[in-house]
Structure 1
Amino acid sequence: MGKRIVYVEDDRQIGGWVKEHLTGRGYEVDWLTDGGKLSVRPEEYLAAEAGRAACDLVLLDVMLPGLDGFTLGKRIKEARPDLPVLMLSARTAIEDKLAGLEFADDYLTKPFHPDELSARIEVLLRRFGRLEEEALSLGHLLVYGEAERIVDARTGEEIRLTGKQHQIFQYFLRHRGRILTKEQLYEAVWQEPFLDGDKTLMVHIRYLREKLEQDPGQPEIIETIRGIGYRVRA
């Protein structure tokens, strides 16, 4: 069973796609449209029961019917200070962020990319000791937490990537074993249409291979599939 996230969001459209995304990433998502079940005795709802795992993280919208997210979040933290709380809000004012961060462990403003949400959740789970550090072995590489940390198993040294290199490699890992076209990769990472003949992606992959491959001239991690694109083997 995956990590259990209690998610409080009254907007059904947003709640639906967030739950679908997180479920697809292996989380067990307990979605509530208001804070009623959490407001009186939060420690009971967040604890394990028959057929239900204990909560590992609370994902909490600010604007809720009845009790607002700030008040609910404070009650949760008072009852379970060991539990990470991530606030979600369309409010971008610094005053609102500071108010949220008085008790919450992170604050993410809407709209947000689902991959950023997943990354922040993983960081909090790791910080609170709720995410086991299981390494994915790729040749001579040990990859932790979907490329949050990459270690060369031969030397024990950590390999550091730039922002775009990190995003490209993350996308490869999420689609391990699949052949990805240049168009797919570019549009997923840059969030804009791919223009035929653009060499930007190829340049970034060349630099990425220089960091990851034992022999960049004969890559074994990021394979070139001639005439189609690239693949990282499962």
Structure 2
Amino acid sequence: MRLTDSERRALEALEEQERVFRRGAVVVSEHDARRELYVVQEGWLHSAVLLGNGNRQIMRFHFPGDIVGISVLAFGESAETVTAVTDATLCPFDRDRLAELFERHPRLSALIFTLAVADRVTLADRLASIGRTSARARVASLLCQIFARLRLLHDGARDDFAIPLTQEDIGDATGLTSVHVNRMMRGLVDDGIIERSGNNVRLIDERRLSREAGYMDRSRIDTSWLPPPK
């Protein structure tokens, strides 16, 4: 979708301020009462909830271009804890700024709504994977999701990326222990499906990885229905 100059300026206005967060820094804590949202300018983050048994469930990974903290629109507080996976640069803005954008640019509001729906569907896919598939399929599905997002960011069909996640991060996103994650990743390497070197992961047999994961690519969204720019 091609943005008008007015729409582009409206989005750029959300990025007037910058804050740098170091790797491991908590950006927002669960249940914090707040009005701020953030545009991710650089870096990776994740949103997680703390469970009653003390375990952590990572719900989402965030990449440049994402809006973080959107739950404050509905509840006035954060539903998740947002943590920097890498050093990250975020642009904070008050939710009133988003209300102004929605009023002046209905097509952008429809686009943000569509992206939120796509995020919900992707999350539902992963929850179904966690609840009803094998450990190997869960790890494979998460890798497929991450690669799809990174390809959009880099505008190309690359088959290798640096993935700065620990085995604990992957385990908390898939409901597995770190030991189990290591075993599943090693199995994917031994079977010639991926290659690993440090944080770098290369897809060797993407078709097989997708098949084992039961993966549905949700990275492309339909914007044909959006209203015309105002």
Query: Structure 1 length normalisation: TM-score?
Result: 0.30
- Name the structure where helix makes up a greater proportion of residues: 2
Larger Rg: 1
Greater relative contact order, per chain length (Cα 8 Å cut-off, separation 6+):
2
Query: Structure 2 length normalisation: TM-score?
Result: 0.31
